[in-house]
Chain A
């Protein structure tokens, strides 16, 4: 009996050892759109809590959510809502529904090269462009030149958001070139004068951001327009957890949602949720 008890305790110890070894470290993985924001939060949080370690990596929303399911991250960053299938898989594996936190807001921005004379497009025009129905800038009031499309990988939350919100769930034109991150899209559009791409506002440096027309007005992805909901392509940025937050994970999320954390949101170029 004593032997059985001793064996059980050893087995329990081996099970709990990896958990104890990782105490003080929080891993955050997912959306490329949110990487810079999460890194800024991590830096500020670790400055206040020197014993804590926050590890932030990108890879796309889908990658982060898959890592959450595989148990290889504590927090998944996602620029889209979790799909029902992903939620059901998590629940089946961990026997508890996942927890969602909206930690910032973002306006998905369409970029064109600075040389492009267009300033605004309607959502319908953007849809026609990305479905491949409109292939020349002339058709939407621009120069007589072919449109060069840049898109994101399908593991990206931004990709899913544009597909659902702009394209109505339809597939992107096959001519759209897939690039591995928003920074790559910005870089490509800045080099290609007939290019168009999309991504988060935080990356939109050195190129022209398109306004989006709604009725007779055109709205830029500014803080006021995103907050008021006037800008039609705004979205929430999320943290997802396997269950309710506790310990170090809770402390980090509390920080992200605090006044200090939300000030960092503004500094990085996104919009606070509070």
Chain B
């Protein structure tokens, strides 16, 4: 195969009046020095020879290699520190409600989440801090201090700090990974804020997953930064992961101090949850992967503010989610969820307005598209269907959400 001739380097040409000197000196043994070929390099007197220049360049390359190695060594230490984050910016439109109920719909832009997370993972320890900056301020979401138990190859760890409750699937799942803008109604009620201060043990062994811990119990949305009682809540999940199917059962038992209208003084009421979740993944549709996920949660004593807006009230709910990927960048998902805020209590009505504790079913559909690895756009339409009796009617509260999520 013919080899291409490399382009010849242009050397400075001496003035025509100066004598030219060939690069290769004539051997003293030669009686008649040969004339250099017409196309030979010519260099000005005193310039370094090609060998000298090559040698100098080699040294320069070696020096650069050494610098590169040094830089890489410095960077490899920094690789243990990872920054990540995401912003969920939204446009929301809720259909206008009718004159009877009074409240109108809305059309607004909002920043739902803007997270910044720093993680430093060493052999034995991990630091994790996540904050959320919103239009109302900056809040601490996670602050975890983790010890990896030596000899377990980071499969067993102990974490202290503020972290997500180890309960169920949708609660601990990152909001940046979820298809729908918000968690299902049952999870929002039973696991408000999804986080709490406490300590947990996390373990993996083959297909088994175990996570359990002791927490203050009120959650980070409780409005207080310190637990106001000595009762601690025990929360955990035992699960499995067989790649194409995964799931688990979760439990929660604790107590919450509160006062019902019939109580003279505050007393401890049970705060408990039981849950089961299952996720199945299929590769049967030529368009892309398919997943089917479901979760059921039943519990007593729940609510966002101080976790006790429904003191000693039993409730339950579930959801079913179907996701179909279309090619590499698109997906469609449908979710049906239902939540009964008060088990066994009949639905009520206040004139044409349904009771606050009536059960609500919600049907939602979302279409999403990934623009590369950093941007996801989703359009979601949700139809909440509040159960009604007598003259009450289902409020007009269908919601459209257009979300752009940028992450790194």
**Which residues of chain A have a CB within 8 Å of any CB of chain B?**
15-16, 19, 69-72, 84, 87, 91-97, 153-154, 164, 169-171, 177-180, 242-244, 246
Contact = CB atoms under 8 A, between A and B. Distances in A.
Given A91-B243, A95-B323, 18 more contacts: A15-B326, A15-B327, A70-B372, A71-B328, A71-B370, A94-B325, A95-B289, A96-B282, A96-B283, A96-B290, A97-B244, A97-B281, A97-B283, A154-B76, A169-B154, A170-B123, A178-B73, A180-B72
Contacts of A70: 372-373
Given A179-B69, A180-B72, A95 B290 contact: yes
B73 A95 contact: no
B289 A96 contact: yes
Contacts of B323: 95
A253 B123 CA distance: 36
Interface in B261-320: 281-283, 286, 288-291
Contacts of B328: 19, 71, 94
A15 B123 contact: no
Contacts of A243: 283, 288-289
Contacts of A242: 289
Contacts of B153: 164, 169
A45 to B, nearest CB: 22
Contact of A95 (B72, B286, B288): B288
Interface in B69-94: 69, 72-73, 76, 79
A177 B281 CA distance: 43
Range for the number of chain B residues in contact with chain A: 20 to 34
B325 A96 contact: yes
A179 B71 CA distance: 11
B179 to A, nearest CB: 9
Given A92-B177, A178-B69, A179-B69, A71 B329 contact: yes
A69 B328 CA distance: 10
A67 B204 CA distance: 26
B329 A95 contact: no
A153 B72 contact: yes
Contacts of A91: 243, 281
Contact of B243 (A71, A94, A97): A97
Contacts of A178: 69, 72-73, 76
B288 A153 contact: no
15 contacts: A69-B373, A92-B177, A95-B290, A96-B325, A97-B243, A97-B244, A97-B281, A153-B72, A154-B76, A164-B153, A169-B123, A171-B123, A178-B73, A178-B76, A243-B283
Contacts of A164: 153
B324 interface: yes
A94 B69 contact: no
A94 B73 contact: no
Contacts of B186: none
Greatest chain A CB density within 10 A among B282, B288, B291, B328 is at B328
B330 A15 contact: yes
Given A178-B72, A243-B289, A246-B286, A19 B327 contact: yes
Contacts of B291: 95-96
A269 to B, nearest CB: 25
B334 interface: no
Contacts of A153: 72, 76
Contacts of B204: 84
Interface string B43-76: 0000000000000000000000000010011001
Interface string B247-270: 000000000000000000000000
B331 interface: yes
A244 B76 CA distance: 34
Nearest to A19: B327
Given A169-B153, A178-B69, A96 B281 contact: yes
A96 B79 CA distance: 29
B372 A244 contact: no
Contacts of B123: 169-171
Contacts of B72: 153, 178, 180
A94 B177 CA distance: 11
Contacts of B369: 15
Nearest to A87: B243
Contact of A177 (B69, B286, B329, B372): B69
A243 B288 CA distance: 8
A13 to B, nearest CB: 12
Contacts of B329: 15, 71
B373 A71 contact: yes
A70 B372 CA distance: 7
